[in-house]
């Protein structure tokens, strides 16, 4: 149980285009999902907290207009990187917290974004 | 400010050696502590967690961690490592506050463990 999937696993896009990454909780409902960014040899940096049915809460320094987050259902959150630039190339990881409570997060496998 | 420090960036051991990875945290309020592992090409998996009670926590695959409140530490240990333990290990801390703070985790920068057969 507690499986989180991400799609796509890898994506390459051109500068200036937008790309959408999906995060799904497969066998549980998630009122809260988290989006992280991981740089090589570095830790996970929380970008935003996504709550079902409400606006996402962004961490300081993260541009909300660039990284659009939508959490339209209890099993799906999406991250859209708009007008992508090469510096947006990174590994994006989502996690989800079970709606029944607890603080554990279940992590997706991540999405490798490369902007050319 | 909340933060997590992992002092060992890369640890190299031979099989059967004992392991201890350091983790120190800075957190205002009651804290939950976690160790996650990321095997090559795989996603983060929970190794063990501490919420309350016995400060010595046992996790999967023979790992354990000890919460020492006075030292703000939550070190990960394994008495005898195996080649299959080669992975990246992340320590994380989170609070028990309500609302938007609930579930928010602060991660250390990770420790790469390489075990030679």
pLDDT digits (tens, 9 = 90+) for A78-93: 999 999 999 999 999 9
Q: Judge whether residue B46 has pLDDT over 60.
A: yes
**Per-residue pLDDT, B101:** 54
Angle value at C-alpha A37, between A91 and B28, nearest 5 degrees = 150
Write out the H or E segment, with its range, that includes residue B22.
Answer: none
B25 CB neighbours in chain A (<8 A) are none
Nearest one of B84, B98, B103, B77 to B19, comparing CA atoms: B77
A32 CB neighbours in chain B (<8 A) are 102-103
Average pLDDT over chain B reads 90
Query: Residue B52: which residues within 8 A CB-CB, separation 6 or more?
Result: none
Q: Judge whether residue A4 has pLDDT over 70.
A: yes
Do B64 and B20 touch, CB atoms closer than 8 A? no
Average pLDDT over chain A reads 91
**Per-residue pLDDT, A1:** 66
**Per-residue pLDDT, B100:** 44
Instruction: Give the CA-trace dihedral at A38, A55, B27, B59, to 10 degrees.
Output: -60
* pLDDT tens sequence across A11-46: 999 999 999 999 999 988 888 899 999 987 778 899
**Per-residue pLDDT, B96:** 64
The 3 state secondary structure assigned to chain A is CCCEEEECCEEEECCCCCEEEEEEECCCCEEEEEEEEECCCCCEEEEEEEECCCCCEECCCCCCCCEEEEEEECCEEEEEECCCCHHHCEEEEEEEEECCCCCCCEECCCEEEEEC
What separation, in Å, do the N-terminal and C-terminal C-alpha atoms of chain B show? 41
Does B104 contact A108 at a Cβ distance shorter than 8 Å? no
Q: Judge whether residue B12 has pLDDT over 90.
A: yes
In whole angstroms, what is the distance from residue B73 CA to residue A105 CA?
21
* pLDDT tens sequence across B78-114: 999 999 999 999 999 987 655 545 567 889 999 999 9
Q: How confident is the model at residue A54 (pLDDT cuts 50, 70, 90)?
A: confident
**Per-residue pLDDT, B24:** 97
Contacts 24+ apart (CB under 8 A), B49-57: B49/A104, B50/B74, B51/A103
* pLDDT tens sequence across B55-71: 999 999 999 999 999 99
**Of B45, B102, B108, which is closest to A103 when you measure between CB atoms?**
B102
| Cα R_g (chain B), whole angstroms | 14
What is the count of residue pairs from A and B with beta carbons less than 8 Å apart? 49
Do B74 and B50 touch, CB atoms closer than 8 A? yes
The chain B residue lying nearest A54, using CA atoms, is B100
């Amino acid at each position: 149980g507690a499986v989180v999937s991400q799609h796509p696993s890898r994506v390459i896009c051109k500068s200036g285009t937008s790309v959408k990454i999906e995060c799904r909780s497969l066998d549980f409902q998630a009122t809260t999902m988290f989006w992280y960014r991981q740089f090589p040899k570095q830790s996970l940096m929380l970008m935003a907290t996504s709550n079902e049915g409400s606006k996402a809460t962004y961490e300081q320094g993260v541009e909300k207009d660039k990284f659009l987050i939508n959490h339209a259902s209890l099993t799906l959150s999406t991250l859209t990187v708009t007008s992508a630039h090469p510096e947006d190339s990174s590994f994006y990881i989502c996690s989800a917290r079970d709606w029944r409570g607890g603080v554990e997060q279940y992590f997706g496998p991540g999405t490798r974004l490369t902007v050319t | 400010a909340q933060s997590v420090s992992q002092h060992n960036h890369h640890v190299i051991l031979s099989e059967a050696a004992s392991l201890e990875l350091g983790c120190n945290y800075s957190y205002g309020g009651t804290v939950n502590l976690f160790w996650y592992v990321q095997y090559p090409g795989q996603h983060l998996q929970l190794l063990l967690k501490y919420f309350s009670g016995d400060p010595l926590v046992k996790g999967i695959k023979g790992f354990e961690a000890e919460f020492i409140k006075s030292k703000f530490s939550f070190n990960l240990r394994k008495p005898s490592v195996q080649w299959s333990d080669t992975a990246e290990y992340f320590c994380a801390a989170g609070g028990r506050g309500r609302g938007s703070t609930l579930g928010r985790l602060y991660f250390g920068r990770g420790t790469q463990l390489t075990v030679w057969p």
